[in-house]
Amino acid sequence: MIPARYLVFTLVAALTLTLLNTPTTAGTIQLKNDNGVFYQGSFVGRISGDIDGAVFTPAVDVFPITVHSVQFAFHRPRNADHIGESARVRVHIYPVTDGVPGDVLAQSDVQEVTELDQWHTISLEAPLTLNEPANFMAAVEWLSGDDDDPAPSLATDSNLDAAQAQKDQLNLFHDANALLGNPPCVRGFCSHSEFWGVPARVGFNMIRVTIDTPLEETPSDSTPTETLTKTATRTATGTPTSTATATSTQTATGTPTHTPTGTLLPAPTATTTATPTQSPTSTPTGAPTTAPGECHDLNGDRQGDSEDIEIVANCWHDPAAPCLLYDVVPDQNIDILDVMVMAAQYGCTAAEPTATPTATATVTSTPPPAPPPGSHGLTARVFIDYRCNRFFQSGVDTALRDVPVTISFPDGSSVTHLTRSNGYAFFSGFDVTDDGLTVSVDLSGGYRRRLLGNCFNSPGRLELDLGDFRHGTANVQLGAEILGEGAAP
């Protein structure tokens, strides 16, 4: 008899796996991490390729075990009518070594699930026997659903106060869209805290596993039998019924009592940080000449580059006042001449902005006079900044459209514009005084129903002063990051 009843083992080389068609067992146990309450579901839903899992650490003395089936429940939040009521899914069993799922050990056939808020049981194609103590994960994979018509997600329970380390250890997610910028989430499975936008408000995945074990169970008021699975599958109730599962002496095995010593994440895979350098393949000929040393820096990075050219090109023949700010060849029109000037200045270096004097007793210089009324303009670009470096990189970052950007003035007035499809919001016809102004962005609309936040180095509220408006214009980059999915009852 092994004295440490709840000692945790990871999968080691000694683990042997055997597929049996008719195992001989002495008892049936259901492993679970959840508290049985169908409390919340993802407001995003699920798409084909998503995988949600629950990690189990059975007690050492129940091995060898044979896994027969996986139980799970779907939940669709209130007011989430964009999410369907059915999904095509299959279940998998994975080994878990140092918190990282390995290759699939067993799986089921694909099945259509059509009911919400009730337990569903899917049997494996063949029972899986684990002869040695090991962690393993039971998971549900979605084979239907897309961004426009998502399928329902797993239900999560109401155990919100559980330690976050335990949630991270027992809940794993694979995001088929790879929208979460964190490398572990892109390469494999995300932990609970990386996947959810507000992880403290989300409980455990409602996935359970039915196993056979040679261990004779302690007699109780209700002895688990094969009817356990049938009852869980057929009872259409919003709250799981109280069955023999709740009284099984092995219930606690689904929730390890040990203190996690490591995070259940794949080792972060290094991502390429080098930014491809873009250079013109040819020098435009016949371009209008520019004054020596002149450098139109429209995006605020102190150099003429492809993004400055893009800003002008996006305003092609646009007579609106904001675009006329980029009329670098002043003819009241944005045309090929303006683009050619910007191309000719590719690689130029803009002068450092003159520091704005601070209002202290030691300041002796005089601030520059305010320009004539209505002569200032501002461009704000809002985008998902996957590297959080405050620079938009085509093919990597994602422009955000219809995001409210507001400029607020010291007198209490403000103007709000929505970003265009390229992520830009344009403002013009205002004055900047010595008191400056404030630029703020509202990310509450999210992205594909996922929660957004500001990158650590890109605050959602910027204070600009007169010195920031070189040539009468200013350009700000507002980088956002995806915090994760939102859950709701």
Query: Domain check: are 343 and 457 in the same one?
Result: no
CA distance 266 to 97: 10
Query: Domain check: are 236 and 303 in the same one?
Result: no
Nearest to 53, CA basis, from 187, 211, 173: 173
Domain of residue 155, CATH code: 2.60.120.820
Domain of residue 422, CATH code: 2.60.40.10
Q: Is there a domain that residue 162 lies in? A: yes
CA distance 367 to 364: 9
CA distance 190 to 173: 5
Query: Domain check: are 143 and 279 in the same one?
Result: no
The domain in which residue 192 lies consists of: 17-254
Query: Domain check: are 93 and 234 in the same one?
Result: yes
Count the domains in the chain.
3
Reading the chain (489 residues) residue by residue, the pLDDT tens digits are 433 333 333 332 333 333 333 333 468 999 999 999 999 999 999 999 999 999 999 999 999 999 999 999 999 998 889 999 999 999 999 999 988 899 999 999 999 999 999 999 999 999 999 999 999 999 999 999 998 999 999 999 999 999 999 999 999 999 888 776 555 565 589 899 989 988 999 999 999 999 998 865 443 333 333 322 323 333 333 333 333 333 333 333 333 333 333 322 233 333 333 333 333 333 333 434 444 457 877 766 667 777 777 777 777 666 555 566 677 776 667 777 777 777 777 777 766 544 434 334 344 444 433 334 578 999 999 998 888 888 888 888 889 999 999 999 999 899 999 999 999 999 988 989 889 999 999 998 888 778 888 888 888 889 999 889 988 889 999 999 888 888 888
Query: Domain check: are 142 and 224 in the same one?
Result: yes
Q: Is there a domain that residue 413 lies in? A: yes
Query: Domain check: are 141 and 82 in the same one?
Result: yes
Query: Domain check: are 182 and 68 in the same one?
Result: yes
CA distance 386 to 392: 9
With b for 16 or more beta-carbon neighbours within 10 A and e for fewer, the 36-71 pattern comes to bbbbbbbbbbbbbebbbbbbbbbbbbbbbbbbbbbb
Q: Is there a domain that residue 265 lies in? A: no
Which 3 state secondary structure label does DSSP give 52?
strand
Q: Is there a domain that residue 56 lies in? A: yes
pTM beyond 0.85: no
Q: Is there a domain that residue 305 lies in? A: yes
Is the alpha carbon torsion for 446, 447, 453, 459 positive or negative? negative
Query: Domain check: are 43 and 103 in the same one?
Result: yes
Query: Domain check: are 327 and 239 in the same one?
Result: no
Nearest to 22, CA basis, from 138, 122, 124, 126: 126
Q: Is there a domain that residue 8 lies in? A: no
Location of structure tokens 């013109």: 280
Query: Domain check: are 325 and 223 in the same one?
Result: no
Instruction: Indicate the pairing of strand 487-488 with strand 461-464.
Output: unpaired
Query: Domain check: are 336 and 387 in the same one?
Result: no
129 φ, ψ to 5°?
-105, 130
CA distance 222 to 243: 8
Read off the tokens for 32: 């679970």
* Residues 70 and 53 sit within 8 Å (Cβ to Cβ): no
Q: Is there a domain that residue 22 lies in? A: yes
Query: Domain check: are 392 and 325 in the same one?
Result: no
Domain boundary pick from 222, 254, 286: 254
Q: Residue 282 contacts by C-beta under 8 Å, 6 or more apart in sequence? A: none
Q: Is there a domain that residue 267 lies in? A: no
